Amino acid sequence: GRLKKLIAKHQVRMVLIFGKHDRIILTKRGTRFSQNLEHLITVKEIEAGHQLLQEKYAKTIAAFFVG
């Protein structure tokens, strides 16, 4: 769709983070979205459910963004 075209055009790097046990937003949706843009979109899955914005996941999520 349009969003994927814009990501490709502007070379926007993204990390999509999903909870392994999330039954609302499934990792496979992110994987499907990243198809043909794997060089720009990284899909990660953590041992969590739907509520990723909790302090107990902060270190795990931060590790995806620091070297």
The model's pTM is 0.90
Distance CA 57, CA 3 (A): 28
Confidence of residue 67 (pLDDT cuts 50, 70, 90): low
- Residue 21 pLDDT: 98
* Domain-wise residue ranges, the chain: 2-62
Torsion angle of the four alpha carbons 62, 51, 32, 44, in this order, in degrees rounded to the nearest 10:
20
State the pLDDT at residue 47. 97
Q: Which long-range contacts (CB under 8 A, 24 or more apart) does 26-34 make?
A: 33/4
What digits encode the pLDDT tens for the residues 12-53?
Answer: 999 999 999 999 999 999 999 999 999 999 999 999 999 999
